[in-house]
Amino acid sequence: MEIVFVLVPVSLVIVAGALYAFVWSVRNNQYEDLEKEGQRILFDEDPNERRTES
């Protein structure tokens, strides 16, 4: 039963840290353009640049 007195404050600290990280990421526009990053991984090369293979 004594472990509950340790686990509840530890879990509250973890939740507070996760909430702080989420609020920080929203305020710093980390979720502004989600589609761009998904397409960037597919189309990472410039179509005007061509690689020359030797």
Q: Is the predicted pLDDT of residue 50 greater than 70, yes or no?
A: no
In a domain, 13, yes or no: yes
**The model's pTM:** 0.61
What pLDDT is recorded for position 15? 98
Predicted confidence band at 19 (pLDDT cuts at 50, 70, 90)? very high
Instruction: Identify whether 48 is part of a domain.
Output: no
Containing structural domain, residue 12: 4-40
User: Is residue 45 in a domain?
Assistant: no
Q: How many domains does the chain have?
A: 1
In a domain, 36, yes or no: yes
| Buried-state track 8-42, b at ≥16 Cβ within 10 A, e below 16 | eeeeeeeeeeeeeeeeeeeeeeeeeeeeeeeeeee
Per-chain mean pLDDT for the chain = 85
11: in domain: yes
Mean pLDDT of 13-31: 95
- For residue 16, tell me if it sits in a domain: yes
